[in-house]
């Protein structure tokens, strides 16, 4: 199923979450009368998870810890995300990798997320000037646990230089890179990096794009709804 994911990052408050859930739910209820082929997943900051009322969409956490419970001040267990209503968790986002998260840690977090029954979205992507294959193959090799399967893991290809910049790879590059990742992992592959209403239709029509991970443009529910509408 094509996944349309909204990553709010460190944004939002209870009023924002309430309005977002109401508008998104109403829109999806109307759309689902004719079509039910998309899985919409919203990733709010963890404190907003219990407040985000899911109507026709799912929700997830933006990160989790690699241990179940214990003396780990400030960390969040995937079991706690699950209790707060999450069905998914994003792992290894480039903003976390930039803050020092290693691929080995991402794999340990993913293995713990599986135990909690969460589906993981494992992010990979090269920085500007880096070689796609060298960086992404290494990230895939070390970040995706042996126990990963289509049932519990989705990969998100997000070139770091495309995140929040308004710049995207060419459609031909997206097609080729997503195909390479799918071939290596045998997993569903999302694209992320400057997806907006104007380019969502074209990017989502690429055969090897099995979903979109959207940051900035998901922060306005209206722009997120236009993205959903522009995907056929
Ligand atoms: P962006 O972010 O859509 O703002 O480029 C994507 C992401 O960080 O997942």
Q: Check residue 163 and give its pLDDT.
A: 97
Q: Check residue 35 and give its pLDDT.
A: 58
Task: Give the number of other CB atoms < 10 A from CB of residue 16.
Answer: 17
Query: Cα dihedral angle (79, 190, 91, 100), rounded to 10 degrees?
Result: -170
Q: Check residue 37 and give its pLDDT.
A: 75
Q: Check residue 181 and give its pLDDT.
A: 98
Candidate of 11, 164, 219 to mutate for ligand 1, largest count of ligand atoms within 8 Å of Cβ: 164
Ligand 1 pocket check for 211: Cβ under 6 Å: no
Q: Check residue 77 and give its pLDDT.
A: 98
Ligand 1 pocket check for 200: Cβ under 6 Å: no
Q: Closest Cα to residue 197, out of 210, 216, 170? A: 216
The C-alpha atoms of residue 103 and residue 122 are separated, in whole angstroms, by 10
Ligand 1 pocket check for 164: Cβ under 6 Å: yes
Tell me the CA distances in angstroms from 94 to 22, 31, 90, 99, one per residue in order.
30, 33, 11, 8
Kindly give, in sequence order, each residue whose CB lies less than 8 Å from that of residue 30, ignoring residues fewer than 6 positions away: none
* Spacing, Cα 151 to ligand 1 middle (Å): 24
Question: By alpha-carbon position, which residue is closest to atom 3 of ligand 1?
Answer: 215
Q: Check residue 94 and give its pLDDT.
A: 98
Q: Check residue 31 and give its pLDDT.
A: 80
Tell me the CA distances in angstroms from 142 to 84, 198, 211, 224, one per residue in order.
29, 35, 23, 32
Overall pTM surpassing 0.85 (yes/no) = yes
Mind listing the pLDDT tens digit of every residue in the chain (232 residues)?
A: 999 999 999 999 999 999 999 999 999 988 865 556 799 999 999 999 999 999 899 999 999 999 999 999 999 999 999 999 999 999 999 999 999 999 999 999 999 999 999 999 999 999 999 999 999 999 999 999 999 999 999 999 999 999 999 999 999 999 999 999 999 999 999 999 999 999 999 999 999 999 999 999 999 999 999 999 999 7
Question: By alpha-carbon position, which residue is closest to atom 1 of ligand 1?
Answer: 215
Could you list the active site residues?
Answer: 93, 158
């Amino acid at each position: 199923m094509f996944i349309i994911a909204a990553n709010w990052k460190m944004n939002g408050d209870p009023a924002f979450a309430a309005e977002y859930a109401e508008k998104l739910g109403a829109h999806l209820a109307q759309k689902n009368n004719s079509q039910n082929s998309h899985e919409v997943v919203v990733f709010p900051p963890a404190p907003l998870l219990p407040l985000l009322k899911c109507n026709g969409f799912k929700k997830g956490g933006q990160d989790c810890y690699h241990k179940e419970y214990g003396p780990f001040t400030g960390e969040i267990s995937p079991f706690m995300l699950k209790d707060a209503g999450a069905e998914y968790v994003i792992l290894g986002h480039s903003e976390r990798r930039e803050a020092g998260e290693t691929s080995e840690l991402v794999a340990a977090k993913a293995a713990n997320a599986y135990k909690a029954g969460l589906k993981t979205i494992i992010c990979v992507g090269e920085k500007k000037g880096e070689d796609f294959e060298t960086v992404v193959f290494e990230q895939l090799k070390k970040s995706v646990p042996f126990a990963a399967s289509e049932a519990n893991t989705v990969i998100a290809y997000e070139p770091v230089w495309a995140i929040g910049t308004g710049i995207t790879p060419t459609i031909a590059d997206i097609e080729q890179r997503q195909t390479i990742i799918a071939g290596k992992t045998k997993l569903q592959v999302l694209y992320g990096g400057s997806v907006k209403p104007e380019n969502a239709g074209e990017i989502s029509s690429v055969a090897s794009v099995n979903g979109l991970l959207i940051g900035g443009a998901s922060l306005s529910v209206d722009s997120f709804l236009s993205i959903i509408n522009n995907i056929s």
